[in-house]
């Protein structure tokens, strides 16, 4: 299938990043969200990122050319001509099912659906549509313009044709792919990564080690570009919480259960860079100022 027009549902960090790399490679992209304010904020962040890459000579073309390939909308009807749909909304199954049920009625019969979920089984989301054979998981990593890997996940009914088309598209927009052949919650890479991040939070919660030392140790000891809690702040503590819970509910394995400290932080809205405070505190430009005070039970009155 010849993919020319791409629809991205969700203008946040992940959706904006996916829209950006598609536009940089010449695709016509429509990005949507539930309000014009969210769309505008998402496009502004995409433009900022594109400007940085163009100024450094890392992508061909001009900022205006690349941004000219992206249009922002709040109406799902704009997906009516899409050849391929990327979904990057909140990490909750009912929300994803509701979205795809609507898109299933709007999009052309040939369109392929792809969820960027980091943990929810693809088969569970695809069940909301009449095209499970054309439904695939494409799990990008944050920040999307910089991270090279994408997991391509086969749902129970995903066809080989759909898998191959998703792999070709991801490679064409500059990514390397790995295949996940079994539709397990958390897929492959997060099934490896989640327990280590959860254990890091538990060690901080127990007072064994500080937030800063966890991240410094993981950067310097294991060669990571960012520590696990820095990464958590970038992607959003609520995103991690929902993903861990999705894997726990599927497996009932306690190692995936969100630690109490993470639950408390999510409850009070300490979600990371997007709220100015998570494991660290950030200024208005998103620059890290220092570690955030830990949230304890006594603060929840």
Q: Which one of the listed residues 115, 116, 118, 242 is annotated catalytic?
A: 118
pLDDT for 300 equals 39
- The overall average pLDDT reported for the chain is 95
pLDDT grade, residue 294 (50/70/90)? confident
Q: Output the pTM of the full model.
A: 0.90
Q: Which one of the listed residues 87, 91, 151, 167 is annotated catalytic?
A: 151
253 is catalytic: no
Work out the widest C-alpha separation in the chain, in whole angstroms. 57
Q: Which one of the listed residues 32, 49, 124, 190 is annotated catalytic?
A: 190
Instruction: Tell me the CATH class for 189-286.
Output: mainly alpha
What is the architecture, at CATH level 2, of domain 5-180? 3-Layer(aba) Sandwich (3.40)
What confidence tens digit (pLDDT) does each residue in 76-114 have? Answer: 999 999 999 999 999 999 999 999 999 999 999 999 999
Average pLDDT score over residue span 158-186: 97
What are the strands, taking DSSP E only, across 38-175? 70-73, 84-87, 112-115, 135-140, 149-154
pLDDT for 285 equals 86
Average pLDDT score over residue span 282-300: 78
What confidence tens digit (pLDDT) does each residue in 109-143 have? Answer: 999 999 999 999 999 999 999 999 999 999 999 99
The sheet that has 84-87: what strands, in order across it?
70-73, 28-32, 5-9, 84-87, 112-115, 135-140, 149-154, 176-180
Residues 6+ apart with CB under 8 A from 206: none
CB 29 within 8 A of CB 19: yes
Would you kindly state where each structural domain of the chain is located, as residue ranges? 5-180, 189-286
139 is catalytic: yes
Q: Judge if the upstream peptide bond of residue 143 is cis by omega within 30 degrees of 0.
A: yes
């Amino acid at each position: 299938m010849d993919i020319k027009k791409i629809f991205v549902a969700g203008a946040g960090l992940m959706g904006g990043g996916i829209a950006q790399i598609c536009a940089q490679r010449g695709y016509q992209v429509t990005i949507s969200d539930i309000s014009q304010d969210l769309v505008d904020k998402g496009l502004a962040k995409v433009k900022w990122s594109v400007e940085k890459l163009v100024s450094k000579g890392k992508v061909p073309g001009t900022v205006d050319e690349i941004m000219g390939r992206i249009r922002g909308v709040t109406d799902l009807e704009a997906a009516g001509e899409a050849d391929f749909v990327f979904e990057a909304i909140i990490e909750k199954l009912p929300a994803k099912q509701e979205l795809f049920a609507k898109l299933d009625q709007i999009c052309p019969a040939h369109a392929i659906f792809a969820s960027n979920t980091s943990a929810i089984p693809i088969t569970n989301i695809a069940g909301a549509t009449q095209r499970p054979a054309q439904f695939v998981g494409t799990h990008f990593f944050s920040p999307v313009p910089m991270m090279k890997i994408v997991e391509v996940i086969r749902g129970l009914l995903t066809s080989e044709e759909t898998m191959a088309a998703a792999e070709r598209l991801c490679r064409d927009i500059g990514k390397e792919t790995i295949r996940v052949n079994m539709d397990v919650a958390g897929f492959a890479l997060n099934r490896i990564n989640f327990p280590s991040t959860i254990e890091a939070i538990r060690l901080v919660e127990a007072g064994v080690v500080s937030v800063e030392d966890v991240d410094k140790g993981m950067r310097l000891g294991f060669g990571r570009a960012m520590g696990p809690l820095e990464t958590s702040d970038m992607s959003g503590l609520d995103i991690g919480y929902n993903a861990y819970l999705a894997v726990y509910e599927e497996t009932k394995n306690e190692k995936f259960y969100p630690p109490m400290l993470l639950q408390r932080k999510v409850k009070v809205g300490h979600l990371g860079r997007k709220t100015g405070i998570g494991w660290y505190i950030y200024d208005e430009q998103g620059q890290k100022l220092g570690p955030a005070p830990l949230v304890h039970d006594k603060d929840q009155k």
